[in-house]
Amino acid sequence: MFRRHLLALAAVAVPALAQAQQQQPEINVYTARHYDTDAQLYEAFTRATGIRVRTIQADADQLVARIRAEGANSPADVFITVDATRLARAEQAGVLQRYNSQVIDQRVPAGLRDPNGEWFAITMRGRVIMYDKQAGRPEGLNRYEDLADPRFRGQICVRASNHPYNIALATSMLAADGEAATEAWARGVAANLARPPQGGDRDQFRALPSGQCRIAISNTYYLGHVGKSERPEDQALFARIGVIFPNQAAGDRGTHVNVSGAGLVKTSPHPEAARRFLEFLVSDQAQEILAQGNMEYPAVPGAPMHPLLRSMGEFRAEGIEPLRDPARAAQALQIMQRSGWR
């Protein structure tokens, strides 16, 4: 009889346990970020809230297409990607909704948030001008516009025009200066190239000490990763590279930044849990994991920053408003390519 009682209890307990496991809160994050440190972010959120994070990784446009194909039955709760223009494309595709969070709006500056409230920046990467300190800072190079000056003929190293980083920079130029001036600028940059565009951002500033070029265009976090390396040769390279944050004069627009950003999926099956995750992303703890782990600038003012990034210097950032128009980005790419910047 005692055994029958135990079996009866087990018959009740096993389904109850299975049901409890099924009811354990979780969210599904569709992300185009591919950094190992992001796993620390998800683990920290789970420890703090008990909400598990499941991830689907792919290219941003692939993720948007997947969410649309899944329709109302999509398991996606949160969408994360790099590049503000891709975030804007997700918004235009109708896969996001307003996140409705005073926490986010209070902590992230307006210039780093979608004015419609559908997405916001979680980190920033500055696209800057780099030079070899031993060769000296190039005179007269203070703005992005100066890169087209004939005095820098044969001196610039930069990756291909069709990379999102360069498209975003040209989009910023187009918004600030107009089509004619941007086309003249792109032609000037193409004429000033030291070699045909090749490689990634690291390859541009690695070419400085050898004299292959005197000026490199690169994102800050690539140089930060070199400085964080334990290899003596990387540390020596970091110490040798100087950084110019363009367009810093009073009244100028500031240094162009692009972002990683996040939004709440329109058909989220767990919107409250997803909103807790989005708010966690702008906490000091999450900002430190994101910024220090991948050498990015925090989107939240005053959040912890890696000392190596701080050593590059302070700067005033341009907002992301110019990048919110995907049509402008397509136009910027056309301008660069017809101007000879391939």
Known binding residues for Fe cation:
34, 221-222
Burial 177-213 (b: 16+ CB within 10 A, else e): beeeebbebbbbbbbbbbeebeeebbbbbbbbeeeeb
Q: Which residues are annotated as a binding site?
A: 34, 221-222
Q: What is the DSSP string of 251-267?
A: TS--B-EEEEEEEEETT
Task: For residue 176, give the DSSP letter.
Answer: H
**Is there a contact between 280 and 48 (Cβ–Cβ < 8 Å)?**
yes
**Is there a contact between 69 and 95 (Cβ–Cβ < 8 Å)?**
no
Q: Residue with structure tokens 């329709």?
A: 71
Candidates 139, 160, 156; CA nearest to 148 is 156
**Is there a contact between 319 and 111 (Cβ–Cβ < 8 Å)?**
yes
Handedness of CA 277, 282, 288, 294 (dihedral sign): positive
